[in-house]
Amino acid sequence: MASIDDLKQKYLNLDNEHERSGPGHINQNLLLAFDYDYEETGAEIRIDTEEFTAICPWTDLPDFGTLIIKYIPNYLCIELKSLKYYLLSYVGVGIVQEHAANKILEDLVEICNPKQMNICLDYKVRGGLHTSVSLSYPNE
């Protein structure tokens, strides 16, 4: 069995075991949209996933969250498989929670130009703190 002193150096080197990439690795080019024929209805579309993951840029530890997207389409809808692949591009990316939420909203608005969009990125508790970031377009 290893002593506390023996483990101390190994513990201090744990940060060196994980590689992360920067926000430039988020691939918004994966996002696709298709024509929506019912823009006059004002229907609200809700998409959610409990599988959002990115990396804290300071600790290199994963941040897990639930992402909820609600939008009223103008003339384009977000294609779901492309959204899944886009969200997967965040895995391994070092980005603060608040920036991740803003980047997602920015990219989704750019691809589908909705009448209205709200997102909530609700992170799991980490370090005893709970973070939830909510944003709207247009900015309310």
Measure the CA–CA gap between 20 and 8, rounded to whole angstroms: 24
Distances (CA, A) of 80 to 14, 34, 54, 89, 104: 37, 10, 19, 14, 14
Tokens representing 103 are: 């980047």
Out of 63, 107, 112, 122, the active site residue is: 63
Give, as one character, the DSSP assignment of residue 128: T
pLDDT digits over 49-79, tens only? 999 999 999 888 899 999 999 999 999 999 9
Out of 6, 35, 56, 122, the active site residue is: 56
Q: pTM for this structure? A: 0.86
pLDDT digits over 84-119, tens only? 999 999 999 999 999 999 999 999 999 999 999 999
Active site residue 77: no
Q: How many C-alpha atoms does 74 have within 13 Å on its Cβ side?
A: 13
Active site residue 37: no
Domains of the chain (ranges; CATH) run 20-137 (3.30.1130.10)
